[in-house]
């Protein structure tokens, strides 16, 4: 019997998804599977995570029955580690497009890895890889999405900054169908990314951007420096172009917008 609100395990099995009612972290499990020789394309999905990980050592709150928490193991042929850097941006833009299409909610992207609705965070992406010499051995792309969370499902400290599809639309979404639709679309996007790079995703990212045109403050761009200015563009490699008040432009490849 499929309980209302829970994942449909028959459909997940039929699609070859490794589903776990509970895991520490889907990224950690996907990395373990990668080290054990699992093939590229392996997908790990959990209903709940007790040690969900975010960027910069943060945790990802993952209560049961509410979200979509999954990781895809990728073994891209001939990809060099630098080419994989804008993968997160490509995945974020594709996910925003598909979420808008499937739910009608105006999901946007914040550089580099956040999915927002109305300025609040509804999703995030954590990409981790392992290299051997110059080669990229594998990448794990982990995505966390707040779907049916009520306000009380978030810890108090996140309530001001986090949101979910349910909170923004009043609709409780059927997670299995939404996940399988997203995954199908993401797989197509990843194939395109490894064939043609970030260029085909640049216009999409710009269209859905909540970052371009805003004044930003960036941390982690290098040497403890804080970069401030207006986010004016995103180039074909996924770098953010920041213009300061004297019109000087900086090209930022990594970091985090702190406001």
* Binding of ligand BTN by 197 (CB under 6 A): no
Bridge partners (DSSP) of residue 230 are: 215, 243
**Count of residues engaged in binding ligand BTN, rule: CB under 6 A:** 21
* Binding of ligand BTN by 55 (CB under 6 A): yes
- Identified binder of ligand BTN from the candidate list 17, 18, 26, 111, rule CB under 6 A: 26
Q: Which is nearer to ligand BTN, 54 or 63 (CB)?
A: 54
Q: For residue 207, what is the enclosing H or E element?
A: helix 202-207
Residues 156-195 that bind ligand BTN (CB under 6 A): none
Q: Report, in Å, the least distance between residue 11 CB and ligand BTN.
A: 20
> 3-class DSSP state for residue 254?
coil
Distance CA(234)–CA(82), nearest Å, equals 17
Residues 72/189, Cβ–Cβ less than 8 Å: no
* Binding of ligand BTN by 60 (CB under 6 A): yes
* Binding of ligand BTN by 76 (CB under 6 A): no
Stretch of residues binding ligand BTN (CB under 6 A), selected from 35-43, 121-129, 157-165, 201-209 = 121-129
Residues 118/168, Cβ–Cβ less than 8 Å: yes
* List of residues 6+ apart from 164 with CB closer than 8 A: 66, 67, 122, 146, 147, 148, 149, 150, 153
Work out the angle at residue 94's Cα, subtended by the Cα atoms of residues 15 and 84, and round it to the nearest 5 degrees.
Answer: 90
* Torsion of Cα atoms, 228 then 207 then 180 then 33, to 10°: -40
With CB atoms as reference, the residue minimizing the distance to ligand BTN is 124
* Binding of ligand BTN by 212 (CB under 6 A): no
- Identified binder of ligand BTN from the candidate list 53, 61, 97, 149, rule CB under 6 A: 53
Q: Report, in Å, the least distance between residue 47 CB and ligand BTN.
A: 12
* List of residues 6+ apart from 253 with CB closer than 8 A: 85, 237, 238, 239
* Binding of ligand BTN by 146 (CB under 6 A): no
- Identified binder of ligand BTN from the candidate list 124, 129, 197, 238, rule CB under 6 A: 124
Place of tokens 């049961």: 64
- Identified binder of ligand BTN from the candidate list 7, 17, 18, 27, rule CB under 6 A: 27
Q: Which residues contribute to the site for ligand BTN (CB under 6 A)?
A: 25-27, 49, 52-55, 58, 60, 69-71, 113-114, 124-126, 142-144
């Amino acid at each position: 019997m499929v309980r209302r609100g829970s994942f449909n395990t028959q459909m997940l099995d039929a699609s070859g998804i490794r589903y776990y009612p509970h895991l520490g972290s889907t990224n950690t499990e996907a990395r373990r599977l990668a080290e054990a020789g699992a093939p590229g394309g392996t997908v790990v999905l959990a209903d709940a995570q007790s040690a969900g990980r975010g960027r910069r050592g943060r945790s990802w709150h993952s209560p049961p029955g509410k979200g979509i928490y999954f990781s895809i193991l990728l073994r891209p042929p001939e990809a060099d580690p630098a080419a994989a850097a804008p993968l997160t941006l490509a995945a974020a833009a594709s996910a925003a497009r598909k979420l808008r299409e499937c739910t009608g909610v105006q999901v946007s992207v914040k550089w580099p890895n956040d999915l927002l609705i109305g300025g609040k965070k509804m999703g995030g992406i954590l990409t981790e890889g392992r290299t051997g010499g110059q080669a990229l051995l594998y990448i794990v792309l982990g995505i966390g999405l707040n779907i049916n969370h009520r306000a009380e499902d978030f810890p108090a400290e996140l309530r001001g900054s986090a949101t979910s599809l349910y909170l923004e639309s009043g609709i409780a979404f059927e997670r299995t169908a939404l996940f399988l639709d997203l995954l199908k679309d993401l797989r197509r996007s990843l194939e395109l990314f490894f064939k043609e790079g970030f260029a085909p995703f640049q216009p999409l990212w710009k269209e859905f951007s909540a970052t371009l045109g805003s004044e930003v403050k960036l941390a982690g761009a290098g040497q403890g420096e804080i970069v401030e200015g207006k986010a004016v563009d995103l180039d074909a490699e996924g770098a953010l172009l920041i213009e300061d008040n004297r019109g000087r432009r900086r090209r930022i490849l990594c970091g985090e917008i702190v406001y």
